[in-house]
């Protein structure tokens, strides 16, 4: 809750307060809502995938993050948890190379993920590039125009 009064010390007055929407849902979540079970399992898959890429398969992590700027944006699960849809992004000029590396390493990542998850069923990994929406592209183009004008 925001306070409209100016009481308190000068340190409190200098602090900027930003309202936070606790009911915020990502655009993906609005279109494709996930159950609580899917959210929990997606979190486990995301954490295990990061662990595998950082510690188990260190060459994959170094190649993907160092050369291509690979980051996992979000992990979504199919309703039966048989497929993990991994939304990822990379440097704009490296999308094709990063996608080729991911396709080559998918089976090895899934095998390592099976060991890290310690689950009876390991989801099939489907990597999807997180493409910006038309609104995000419009904002980015406007910022580029402002930058070139100044």
Assess whether pLDDT exceeds 60 at residue 2: no
The torsion defined by the Cα of 134, 139, 143 and 145, in degrees rounded to 10, comes to: 60
Containing structural domain, residue 122: 33-149
Per residue in 47-104, pLDDT (tens digit) is: 998 888 877 756 767 778 788 888 888 899 998 889 999 999 888 888 888 889 888 8
Domain count, the chain: 1
Q: Is residue 133 part of a domain?
A: yes
The torsion defined by the Cα of 41, 43, 45 and 49, in degrees rounded to 10, comes to: 180
Q: Is residue 138 part of a domain?
A: yes
Q: Is residue 21 part of a domain?
A: no
């Amino acid at each position: 809750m925001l306070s409209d009064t100016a009481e308190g010390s000068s340190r409190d007055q200098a602090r900027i307060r930003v309202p936070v929407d606790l009911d915020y849902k990502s655009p993906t979540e609005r279109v494709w809502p996930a159950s609580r079970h899917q959210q929990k399992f997606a979190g486990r898959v995301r954490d295990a995938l990061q662990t595998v890429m950082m510690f188990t398969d260190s060459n994959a992590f170094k190649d993907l993050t160092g050369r291509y700027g690979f980051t996992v944006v979000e992990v979504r699960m199919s309703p039966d948890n048989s497929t993990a849809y991994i939304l990822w992004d990379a440097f704009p000029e490296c999308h094709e190379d990063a996608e080729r590396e991911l396709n080559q390493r998918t089976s090895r990542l899934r095998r390592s993920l099976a060991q890290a998850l310690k689950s009876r069923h390991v989801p099939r990994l489907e990597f999807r590039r997180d493409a910006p929406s038309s609104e995000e592209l419009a904002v980015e183009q406007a910022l580029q125009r402002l930058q070139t004008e100044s």
